[in-house]
């Protein structure tokens, strides 16, 4: 299925199971809500749904070689008190990771353009599209949701103080249609 920008896709999920050849079934609800575990699961699910393929340097690519980065947010339906801003830049720009201290120092000093340039060099410039999923702390009591945004629209709507962040409200405002995936 070819995914279109600015469309919210929804899929009802039930549970994550591991089935043995002898017929036993093991259920792993924590794997869907735990970021370490669900990262690979939901990337694989996106590829299965969309036909994108795994690549290096980004999460996915299409048949024309366009690159897609996948980022998660906490769904407001599950987390109504969740902050509006969430991380969309490369993980190397946060915390103690490679460029995290340098980007933070730029942000703290009010040097937005320098912080943005480093975020572009380490991630934004490597991608053509961003896929956002509601898989931050995900539980299957709500649909799995994802949508696609062009990189230029993401860059034009980054937080004005910290270029590593974007607003869920702003991104949701770009969505024009909804499609339920079976």
Residues in Cβ contact with 131 at an 8 Å cutoff, skipping those fewer than 6 apart: 3, 46, 59, 60, 68, 69, 70, 71, 146, 147, 148
Within a domain: 33 = yes
| Per-residue pLDDT tens digits for 72-102 | 999 999 999 999 999 999 999 988 888 999 9
Within a domain: 64 = yes
Within a domain: 2 = no
Looking at every residue in the chain, the average pLDDT score rounds to 95
Judge whether residue 29 has pLDDT over 90: no
Within a domain: 53 = yes
Domain count, the chain: 1
Within a domain: 140 = yes
Residue with tokens 């299925």: 1
Within a domain: 165 = yes
Specify whether the backbone of 103 is left (phi greater than 0), alpha (psi in -120 to 50) or beta. Answer: alpha
Region 4-21: mean pLDDT is 96
pLDDT interval class at 120 (50, 70, 90)? very high
Task: Note the pLDDT of residue 90.
Answer: 93
Within a domain: 1 = no
* Structural domain boundaries, residue 56: 7-180
Per the CB < 8 A criterion, the answer to whether 89 and 119 are in contact is: yes
Within a domain: 163 = yes
Judge whether residue 112 has pLDDT over 90: yes
Task: Note the pLDDT of residue 96.
Answer: 81
pLDDT interval class at 150 (50, 70, 90)? very high
């Amino acid at each position: 299925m070819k995914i279109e920008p600015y469309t919210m896709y929804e899929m009802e999920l039930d549970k994550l199971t591991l089935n043995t050849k002898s017929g036993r079934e093991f259920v792993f609800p924590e794997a869907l809500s735990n970021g370490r575990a669900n990262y690979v699961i939901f990337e694989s699910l996106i590829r299965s749904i969309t036909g994108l393929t795994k690549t290096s340097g980004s999460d996915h690519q299409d048949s024309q070689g366009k690159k897609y980065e996948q980022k998660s947010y906490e769904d407001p339906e599950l987390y109504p008190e969740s902050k509006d801003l969430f991380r969309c830049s490369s993980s190397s720009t946060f915390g103690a990771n490679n460029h995290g201290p340098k980007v933070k120092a730029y942000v703290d000093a009010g040097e937005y353009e320098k912080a943005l340039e480093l975020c572009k060099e380490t991630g934004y410039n490597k991608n053509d599209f961003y896929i956002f999923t509601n898989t931050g702390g995900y539980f299957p009591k709500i649909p799995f949701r994802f949508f696609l945004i062009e990189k230029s629209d993401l860059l034009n709507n980054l937080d004005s103080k910290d270029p590593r962040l974007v607003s869920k409200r702003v991104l949701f405002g770009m969505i024009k249609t909804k499609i339920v995936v079976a």
